[in-house]
Amino acid sequence: MTAPRLGRSTIAVHGIPEPRRENEPVVSPIMQSATFVNAVGSDREVMYTRYGNNPNQVSLARKYATLEGAEDAVFVASGMGATSLAHLSVLRPGDHLLASRWIYGGTLKLFDEEFERFGITVTYVDPTTPRVWRKSIRKTTRAIFIESPVNPTIRVLDLTPIAAIAKEFGLALLVDSTFASPINFRPLEHGADLVITSATKYLNGHSDVIGGAVAGTRPVIEEVVRLLRLWGQALDPHAAWLIERGMKTLAIRMARHNANGLAVATFLAKHPGVTEVSYPGLERHPDHEIAARTLSGYGGMVGVTLKGGISGAERFLRRLRLFIHAPSLAGVESLVSDPRHTSHKGRSAEQLADAGIAPGFVRLSCGIEDAEDLIADLEQALAR
């Protein structure tokens, strides 16, 4: 029987539907067990939660792979775990990685502080200039890593020219699309080989779980699973169950995040207390054309630069009532963060400028509240 073609909202709820048995629970139970009975003498693979083959881990991965349009996927203990294992699955000692300059601060640190011990070198490039990608390729280059939309500046990259270069030189293209979720953007449709996501964010959506996932072709995911078992990165079954529950509402949450992001960005763009708004849904955004062509929604993340620089931003953060000042993003509740104190802590003024973070920049994660209430909160915080 061929699988029916289903919409993403339906997949987010059911995964690939299977025939139901009488009295089977509608909601799959949590298999909170480290291990499973093994038939004596059987040479079938044993079930052990650290192996990533607990039923909660497996059904979650299947659903996520379907949403990304991937052959296979695997969940791990955090977004950083997904990033590290995805890279280790395609890189060997002596290899060279080309990475976008615009990436999450944690990923930047992983590359700068950890990859050297594996003999992996990294070159950062301006992701908007295909010529630079091409020029930076060495004999030892094996992979390209980009993040889109970019944390925290909400730039959007065009994958097509980068994927063409990756294909021409036989490089693996890894894309972190945490800020989009598979509802808004599916990198595999644009030539990526592996998708990385922090499930802590939109997939789970309730700011109560840490998790990550990698999706791609079966052989590469098998390699990620091999590493997951050895490096001990398994996701707890309860966390897997919570993420799967969160994913049931992913599509409707994204519709609301998209609407609230646009409403908030449109309001801020007209406010005299604001010098710059970065939201790909605004026509004046430098990547609006790319975003309109490649995304199915512009998301809930908004970058805003306030008049008054760092002290203006601090006053704004202290005044906000609904937007909670906390790291992380993409939950049902609106959050706000200052990358100078979170993802880009300890970076020099030059490095911040390089990452596109101006003094006075803060990152808003618009939740699913009423847009009017979010705007009223921003308005009172911006009042003189």
Ligand X SMILES: Cc1ncc(COP(=O)(O)O)c(C=O)c1O
Binding site for ligand X (CB under 6 A): 78-80, 83, 104, 106, 147, 151, 176, 178-179, 198, 200, 210, 212
104 is catalytic: yes
Which one, 45 or 113, has the nearer CB to ligand X?
Answer: 113
Six-digit token string for 298: 């512009």
354 annotated active-site = no
- Nearer CB in complex with ligand X: 57/78: 78
CB of 101 to ligand X, least distance (A): 14
Active-site annotation holds for 201: yes
**In this structure, what token pair is assigned to residue 350?**
């030059």
CA separation, residue 304 to residues 151, 279, 325 (Å):
13, 9, 14
Residue from 214, 274, 284 nearest 65 by CA: 214
Q: For the CB of residue 6, give the shortest distance to ligand X in the complex, in Å.
A: 28
Nearer to ligand X, 216 or 312 (CB): 216
Nearer to ligand X, 225 or 243 (CB): 243
> Are the beta carbons of 169 and 141 closer than 8 angstroms?
yes
Residue 336's nearest CA partner among 356, 359, 318, 311 is 318
Least distance to ligand X, CB of residue 139, Å: 29
Burial status of residue 384 (CB atoms within 10 A of its CB: 0-12, 13-18, 19 or more):
exposed
Q: How far apart are CA 343 and CA 76, in angstroms?
A: 21
CB of 372 to ligand X, least distance (A): 28
Q: Which of 63, 142, 155, 201 is catalytic?
A: 201
Report d(CA 97, CA 137) in Å as an integer.
Answer: 9
8, 64, 72, 104: which one is catalytic?
104
Catalytic residue, chosen from 48, 50, 245, 248, is: 50
CB of residue 151 to ligand X, shortest distance in Å? 4
**Closest by CA position to 62, among listed 81, 49, 75:** 75
Give the residues across from 48 on adjacent strands.
35
Please give the structure tokens belonging to residue 206.
């309730």
**Under 8 Å between Cβ of 52 and 228:** yes
Closest alpha carbon to 176 in 223, 140, 131, 143: 143
In whole angstroms, the minimum distance from the beta carbon of 111 to ligand X comes to 13
Smallest distance from ligand X to CB 238, Å: 16
Our CB check for ligand X shows the closer of 197 and 375 to be 197
Q: Which is nearer to ligand X, 212 or 312 (CB)?
A: 212
Using CA atoms, how far apart are residues 201 and 204, in angstroms rounded to an integer? 6
Nearer to ligand X, 100 or 371 (CB): 100
d(Cα 315, Cα 342) in Å, to the nearest integer?
17
The string of DSSP letters for 90-143 reads H--TT-EEEEESS--HHHHHIIIIIGGGGT-EEEEE-TT-HHHHHHH--TTEEE
Q: What is the Cα–Cα distance from 369 to 260, expressed in whole angstroms?
A: 8
Instruction: Return the number of the residue (172 or 210) whose C-beta is nearest ligand X.
Output: 210
Distance between CA atoms of 147 and 100, rounded to whole angstroms?
Answer: 7
Residue nearest to ligand X (CB): 79
User: Minimum Å distance from CB 135 to ligand X?
Assistant: 26
Active site residues: 50, 104, 176, 201
